[in-house]
Structure 1
């Protein structure tokens, strides 16, 4: 897929300049370390491992480098712990938009589970409204810096709990106020997506969009259930679809029926390379299934997942993939257009961003 005959060098400065689209990013996984410390102080949260900004940044990355999804998820106790007031949620959401816009992201769908932020008495509706207010403030600040970004929200239900139907109803209720869709998140093993069939049936009945975390830590069964039983439009991660692809010694590739179905239906894969290495879904970036999946022209998108825990950005993910697979500007444009095509946004608005923002932005460098 690579295009080494590029006219502009693949520097981080240039990578930050090009338009990027982000579909899989967790609000509680992207806080600024300084913000975590300041919010902890304001809220009286005493459980942080350190109050030194640089040390805390390193701690999050080291703690997430466990090779286990369950251990990785434990780091969220601290970020969620400081996001329990309206003021904190507004601040975190606004800073999220500023950081993404500064990295060249022009459209982002950022997800979070409202049920994780009610420990101090906020209602689910109050959580959603605070985050939306923060996103609007972030868009305003970004515009002042000459950056145009559009935000969409995905509301998550935690698959180990029993509130999916309730969260799905909230997603539908706020879909005209910036909520683009629904997701289930949390540990895959032992909590199959079919536990939440009532929520997915409700969403389909109401013509609402949803993605499902599947094929990250578990495997093909998780992907099959998400698509065939639940009707997922996109797969959160989905990297284990590679388990249904076989390669002969001579290089011939054979797709199993599920892999063929995912590719033929153009079901988007929300792939998060650095995160996948941290959770053990891939051994290394060089060994990551994204190389094969992109070569086979699956609907691959590149995402950050949790920018704090992975110490990453969209630009750093692109740069890392360029080093591992020799990708160039046309590859990055392909990933970006894949993501924009797959966004939970009206068709005409997707087309407008592709034709009037993304393609012109890459044309300047290619």
Structure 2
């Protein structure tokens, strides 16, 4: 915003130079591209200055050394007005030698201000020239009036007395002197007229440049309005983004609460896992005990089978029986089904003579049930 105000002040300052000096010939500023001709004295002088500064300065591209401002002012003072007009055609715009030279002096010097100042000095000189022309015209009128008076006196002197030749000679010399002065004043007036005509042409051209500068000011005002609108839109977008950030922060807080809840649940699961691992160790201990009991049971079964085999061997030996008794026993066996002794095993029919068999079997079956039920409970 500060740079834009500075540009507006420069544009208004340049516009106030309407009537300032510029080139003759009526060439409009819009016909220039802001680039000095390669053969122009102004371009050669500026280029030579910056070449010299390049050799003397340790910082290339930003020349701010003692005397640089005076050197630039001196070059602009001796420059042709046509070259100054070329530079002024790009005032407040992009491109052209005005911007290029400004970049070279950007750290401590304003090339545009130096250019505007030189044009202001030339305007002052032109005003002095107009005043001098007016004075010359006044002196010329006085000289002509004086010459007319001298001619009248000379005619009267010739008529009155020829003896006054010495006086007439003096008057003639005065007349010659007056005529010489008149001739000089006439030449000065002609020069002043030519300078005034050139100044009038310059005024016309600068008035056209003033119109262009005013148009540039209007354009800068429009650009400022567009920039203000863009700033308002950017502020609105920032407000929306701030609301989105607040909503995102709320979501983060919710997620953190959920994370804390899940962490607590995970701790509970870890505790359950530790408990289940303890139960698994307990079941493994039971299984090891069951395997030990099975080994004892197998040994007991083997012993019982041996006892049963011995008993069957004793029973297979023949005993003395009466025929009637044998027949009656056979009839009883045929009349009712054979029942297994209460002490026999269900699969083999062997006697369970040792009561440990029943207790061991029950222990094994109970252990097997625990093995079956506990994993299911663990899964639940």
Give TM-score scaled by structure 1 length: 0.22
Hey, which of these two has a bigger chunk of helix by percent?
2
Greater Rg, structure 1 or structure 2? 2
Hey, which of these two has a bigger chunk of strand by percent?
1
Give TM-score scaled by structure 2 length: 0.21
